[in-house]
Structure 1
């Protein structure tokens, strides 16, 4: 399953990237994130991996994030691997009139019958969740609004 989300954030690209690339900020725009830990490589560089632990409702999910390509200020490509799902993200950043346009191309690969069925039956849920992260980052970057406050 593939799709694209895009959002315009009213901060210059350099400020945008400083906020996006700071692991301490993730808790303010990634709902459900309870812990993160760098597990290999130099943080923020290609090949680096981080363990991300989320609590979503009653479910606990652990993902391994791998930086596939880091070409700031223009792009960041990552993968997120968890039980039955591989999500590959190609993120592009463009500055226009002092604002940052964030375009995110997502590809999900499912393994196992249950995850394949969920991907087939609920593709909109994945796109909606991806867009929610972009919207939450926008609120954080522009206004300092944290998902921890809701």
Structure 2
């Protein structure tokens, strides 16, 4: 399953990238994130791996992020692997004529088991909704300092 989500953040590109390129800031916009642990490579650079742990109440999830391209301020690409699915994500950042930032997020989900294949087929909106939620949380964090960690 492939889809693209876009959002306008009413802050300059440099400020957006400074907030995006920080593991410490992830807890402020990725709801459910309880831990991020560097595994290998130079943090934030091509090839680096990080373990991300999420707690969604009854459901806990561990993702392994591998950076596949880091070309800030314009691009950040990574793969996220977890049980049953791989998410290939390409993020693009552009300045708008108003001095704001356009964030374009391209996602491709590849199921690695039958259960996830069925979920992707039956519930594609749930994946798109989660992406939009994280992007909106990030926008609110950058623009207004709102943190989901305080919720």
1:77-88 matches, cutoff 5 A = 77-88=77-88
How far apart, CA to CA, are the structure 1 residues paired with 2:73 and 2:30?
21
Give TM-score, length-normalised by structure 2.
0.98
Residue 127 of structure 2 corresponds to 126
Structure-1-length-normalised TM-score: 0.98
Q: Which runs of 4+ in 1 moved over 4 A?
A: none
Residue equivalent to 1:53: 53
Task: Tell me the number of residue pairs that the alignment of Structure 1 and Structure 2 aligns.
Answer: 150
Separation in 1, partners of 2:138, 2:89: 16
- For residues 21 and 38 of structure 1, what CA distance do their matches in structure 2 show? 14
Residue equivalent to 2:21: 21
Distance 1:24 1:137 in 2: 13
Note the residue ranges of structure 2 that are not aligned, 5 or more in a row: none
1:74 and 2:79 are equivalent in the alignment = no
Q: Distance in 2 between matches of 1:111 and 1:138?
A: 31
| Structure 1 equivalent of residue 101 of structure 2 | 100
Q: Which runs of 5+ in 1 are unaligned?
A: none
How big is the alpha-carbon RMSD for the aligned residues of Structure 1 and Structure 2? 0.6
1:91-131 Cα offsets, whole Å, 9 max, x none, are: 00001121000000000000111111111000000000000
